[in-house]
């Protein structure tokens, strides 16, 4: 189980590193375009002209590239926040499991549910003994039910 946590933690850290690289790359591109935009504005002012919108438009009908870059970096940041939350949760689950196993032994494990939640699963000798007692009691109950049914039929 600890191996699963380590693998998930490594996978999430890898994703964060990839997202960070993308954020860095596109933030740098955005800064270059903003610098270019500022140079063009300065050139207009130096010619005595009033500022005008400067739009980087890669093709007709597309949005301003600076707006596209800003939106893209924001989306990457959202994705990074989501993955970081998953990483924090995985670390907390791992710490919880370690604490529980120190106190209650290795019979305590976490079971991840499809919804993203988890359950504690305990499989120790006490649990197995109680289960065996329930099974024996159920056999006795079935036998008693049969006896009672035989009595009522007479």
pLDDT tens digits, residue range 36-73?
A: 999 999 999 999 999 899 999 988 888 899 999 999 99
Residues 6+ apart with CB under 8 A from 48: none
**Owning domain of residue 19:** 2-104
- Greatest mean pLDDT among 9-18, 59-68, 94-103 lies in 9-18
Q: Is residue 83 part of a domain?
A: yes
Q: Is residue 136 part of a domain?
A: no
Q: Is residue 60 part of a domain?
A: yes
Q: Is residue 24 part of a domain?
A: yes
Q: Is residue 87 part of a domain?
A: yes
Q: Is residue 34 part of a domain?
A: yes
Please report the pLDDT score of residue 150 as a whole number: 80
Q: How many CB atoms lie within 10 A of CB 13?
A: 14
Nearest alpha-carbon partner for 10 in 109, 80, 91, 79: 91
Number of compact structural domains in the chain: 1
Q: Is the pTM of this model over 0.75?
A: no
pLDDT level of residue 118 (50, 70, 90 thresholds): confident
Q: Is residue 143 part of a domain?
A: no
Q: Is residue 37 part of a domain?
A: yes
Eight-class DSSP state of 54 = -
- Let me know if 31 is exposed, middle or buried by CB neighbors in 10 A (0-12, 13-18, 19+): exposed
């Amino acid at each position: 189980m600890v191996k699963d946590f380590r693998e998930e933690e490594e996978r999430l850290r890898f994703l964060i590193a990839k997202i960070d690289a993308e954020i860095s790359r596109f933030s740098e591109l955005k800064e270059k375009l903003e610098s270019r935009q500022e140079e063009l504005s300065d050139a207009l002012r130096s010619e005595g002209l009033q500022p005008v919108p400067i739009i980087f438009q890669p093709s007709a009908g597309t949005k301003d590239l600076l707006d596209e870059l800003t939106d893209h970096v924001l989306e990457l940041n959202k994705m990074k926040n989501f993955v970081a939350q998953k990483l924090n949760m995985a670390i907390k689950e791992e710490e919880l499991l370690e604490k529980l196993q120190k106190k209650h032994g290795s019979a305590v494990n976490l079971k991840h549910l499809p919804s993203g939640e988890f359950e504690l699963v305990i499989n120790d000798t006490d649990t197995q003994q109680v289960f065996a007692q329930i099974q024996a009691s159920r056999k006795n109950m079935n036998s008693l039910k049969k006896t009672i049914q035989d009595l009522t039929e007479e």
